[in-house]
Chains A and B, each alone.
Chain A
Amino acid sequence: MNNTTSDATAPAYNRSRQAREAETLLDRIQDDFPDNPQAMRYFYDLFRNVYCQGEPVKHEGTLVGTTCIHAPEELIYAFGATPVRLCNGSYHYDQIGADFMPAKSCPLVKATLGSLHAKAAVPNTAALELIVNPTTCDQKTKASAMIEAMGYKVHDLELPPAKESEEARLYWQRSVRRLALRLRELTGRKLTRSNLKTAMARTARAQTAFRTLHQLRKSAPALFLGKDAFLVTNAYFFDDLDRWTAAVEQLNTELQLRQMEGFQAAQKRAPRILFTGSPPIFPNLKLPLLIEEAGGVVVADETCSANRMLYDMTAVDEWLLNDMVDGLADRYLKPCTCPIFTRNDDRQRRLLQLAADFNVDGVVYQAFAGCQVYEMEYRSIADVLAAQGIPMLYVETDYSPDDMGQLSTRIEAFLESIKTRKRNKQ
């Protein structure tokens, strides 16, 4: 395609390595599966535009980057700004980011650093004015200064290491208030009760759409596949909030129709998988795709690129603005099941609940090499699931495609063992 407005300095996105990586994956997602919902077209096109053509991220007002789900987006919207989540899933940027971090660190952090360092990166967030970096794991915490050294403005959103205690709660509330002050300084706007309420209503509508989609995945046999669900939640990172909500609502309508018609997007006996651990972020959908190419179906997840990001809603009905901000802060701390927190029984409870609600046959646990907290929680989760008779496959991997062959064998064997187990039960 000829771009008539291009000049010598304009990057040829569609010929870059990262575009190539995204395109190969999108082709796989679209062409290798026969029953993609019509409404997914919006998301396929969106990813092609943003990742392959370099279309700038749509935003109203100031563009504020976030590097974790702990940055309260309602607050950013309330200041008339637009949040964009910068967590990156590209192997290409992971390699660039390796210049900043030790080789054995988390690919997500490395890829995020790499994309911020790269010229003409996708998603195209050239308009970024501030990056809110919650100080969660060591690697993200140390990334702050490195990002700043690249010329970005960074706000460290300080996060406590625990979440149950009152001390942690107060610490975090103060931290969120300090973010509000920084945003006021940046945007020159004032935070008002009505602005915050409007922002909360907008995200609530998006989250309601997500919850409907989430519930539709309880359907057995499955109405659609997990690879598409991950694409939908990944689009939330950078898409216009209201446009995204409308697209999800449309998808929901189509899936409800499928439900009434008794449509099956997977085989009746396809093993139903719950996905947990390090987040699948486009274009690193390696593991979910391998599962579904091998005949399994990912019916639910417990990851910060999907369920953990969108499930818990803000419903604040305080009278005073300060109390509203505190209430908002609570929502971002208390229900979070990230293994970064000390004492994390919530994650075990949530996994068991999801396994029961979604009629799950097995759990796949992804730990990015270098993501120590997920690696460390593996044993406790394995024990809890084993006690309930739920099989689990633990996979330590990263963004590189090197281990695809071995992984596909392991995943197939896992699915086969689930099928045998199901047959024996009958």
Chain B
Amino acid sequence: MNYFAGIDIGSTAIKAAVVDQDGKLIGTRITPTGSMFHKNAMEAFETLLAQHGIAREAVKFVTATGYGRKLFKEADDSISEITANAIGACEAGRAFGGVRTIINIGGQDSKAIQIDVNGNVCNFAMNDKCAAGTGRFLDVAARNLEIDLEELGEYHFGGSGAPLTINSTCAVFAESEIIGLLAKGHGKQEIVAGIHYSIARRTVRLAKRVGIEDRVYFDGGPALNKGLVAALQDELGRELVIPEQPQTTTAFGAAVLARSQYLAE
């Protein structure tokens, strides 16, 4: 049996995915990027193979993606995370009846991708210089509120009052805003909901630049946050399609591409 792998080296986490020769997803693995991303990427890849009893030689093609894609020399090819994300979302999105818009929030960037009926990228937008409203923002906010990142979703729904207004999506300015709100005695729940709405508004603005069409697929680590999903759906006025493993869609896309690259050669 031949296997194909995709490795997505992101700013926060390294994601690896393996598909078999029919393009079926065999398994995925996520590890923090850390400071030694190359070692960690190799480890993630090798552990994933070991978990599923796949020999390294059986993996015929590896495609790297994410911001570390050029530095991972073990890969046979690299692809931008926008294309990889689109391929992964299209494949995964079949189960939902096909997707046309992808919203991705990563550790340091956010993207909106429009796909045509054939599954090709026809337009996209991405934040440029500033990581406002990305995963890192949630990280900082959670730390300020002294709660776990994973708890943010629950807090979102736990409040009794309306979500508070957080004006800034800049992690630095929002930090002081959050501290100010805490000092005034506001509840953490309402603050968390406010944070989610603030990110959602910014993300919807980005998505509107490329045009929003159903179905809208939401992936990246923050898609695990149910509170953020609710806020985003509210701001969009549409239902979102959330995959089972939102963090590994892009790695899966790279693996799918690795397979088709190998077959084309």
Tell me the A residues contacting B by CB distance below 8 Å.
391, 396-397, 402-403, 405-407, 409-410, 412-413, 416-417, 420-421, 424
Contact A417 B122 (CB under 8 A): yes
Contact B121 A413 (CB under 8 A): yes
Contact B121 A417 (CB under 8 A): yes
Shortest Cβ gap from B103 to chain A (Å):
15
**CB-CB contacts below 8 Å: B75-105 with A:** 79-83
Known A-B contacts A405-B67, A406-B126, A409-B67; the reply to A420 vs B121 at CB < 8 A is: yes
Q: Chain B residues with Cβ under 8 A from A410's Cβ?
A: 82, 124, 126
Contact A409 B128 (CB under 8 A): no
Known A-B contacts A402-B129, A403-B129; the reply to A409 vs B118 at CB < 8 A is: no
Ranked nearest first, the 7 interchain pairs of A and B with the lowest CB-CB distance are A413-B82, A412-B80, A417-B121, A413-B80, A416-B83, A420-B120, A403-B129
User: Does residue B219 face the partner (Cβ distance < 8 Å to A)?
Assistant: no
Can you identify 11 A-B contacts, CB atoms within 8 angstroms? A391-B122, A397-B128, A406-B129, A407-B128, A409-B81, A409-B82, A410-B124, A412-B79, A416-B82, A416-B83, A417-B83
Contact A403 B82 (CB under 8 A): no
Tell me the B residues contacting A by CB distance below 8 Å.
67, 79-83, 109, 118, 120-122, 124, 126-129
Shortest Cβ gap from B65 to chain A (Å):
10
Shortest Cβ gap from B34 to chain A (Å):
19
Shortest Cβ gap from A103 to chain B (Å):
14
Q: Chain A residues with Cβ under 8 A from B124's Cβ?
A: 410, 413
Q: Chain A residues with Cβ under 8 A from B120's Cβ?
A: 417, 420-421, 424
Contact A424 B118 (CB under 8 A): yes
Q: Chain A residues with Cβ under 8 A from B67's Cβ?
A: 405, 409
Shortest Cβ gap from B219 to chain A (Å):
16
Tally of contacts, chain A with chain B, CB under 8 A:
46
Shortest Cβ gap from A32 to chain B (Å):
13
Complex Cα distance A341/B81, Å? 39
Q: Which of B80, B121, B122, B129 contacts A409 (CB 8 A)?
A: B80
Q: Chain A residues with Cβ under 8 A from B127's Cβ?
A: 406
Which one of A391, A397, A406, A417 has the highest number of Cβ atoms from chain B below 10 Å of its Cβ? A417
Which one of A391, A407, A413, A416 has the highest number of Cβ atoms from chain B below 10 Å of its Cβ? A413
Complex Cα distance A396/B80, Å? 20
Shortest Cβ gap from B67 to chain A (Å):
6
Shortest Cβ gap from A360 to chain B (Å):
17
Contact A409 B79 (CB under 8 A): no
Complex Cα distance A417/B67, Å? 18
Known A-B contacts A420-B120, A420-B121; the reply to A396 vs B128 at CB < 8 A is: yes
Q: Chain B residues with Cβ under 8 A from A402's Cβ?
A: 129
Complex Cα distance A340/B78, Å? 41
Contact B128 A406 (CB under 8 A): yes
Complex Cα distance A416/B77, Å? 13
Q: Chain B residues with Cβ under 8 A from A417's Cβ?
A: 83, 120-122
Q: Which of B109, B118, B121 contacts A406 (CB 8 A)?
A: B109
| Chain B residue at minimum C-beta to C-beta distance from A413 | B82
| Chain A residue at minimum C-beta to C-beta distance from B209 | A394
Shortest Cβ gap from B231 to chain A (Å):
25
Contact B81 A416 (CB under 8 A): no
Shortest Cβ gap from B66 to chain A (Å):
9
Q: Chain B residues with Cβ under 8 A from A409's Cβ?
A: 67, 80-82, 126
Complex Cα distance A294/B32, Å? 28
Q: Chain A residues with Cβ under 8 A from B82's Cβ?
A: 409-410, 412-413, 416
| Chain A residue at minimum C-beta to C-beta distance from B66 | A409
Q: Chain B residues with Cβ under 8 A from A397's Cβ?
A: 128
Complex Cα distance A420/B121, Å? 9
Contact B83 A403 (CB under 8 A): no
Known A-B contacts A391-B122, A405-B67, A406-B109; the reply to A413 vs B83 at CB < 8 A is: yes
Contacts A403-B128, A413-B82 aside, 7 further interface pairs with beta carbons under 8 A come to: A405-B67, A406-B127, A406-B129, A409-B67, A410-B82, A410-B124, A413-B83
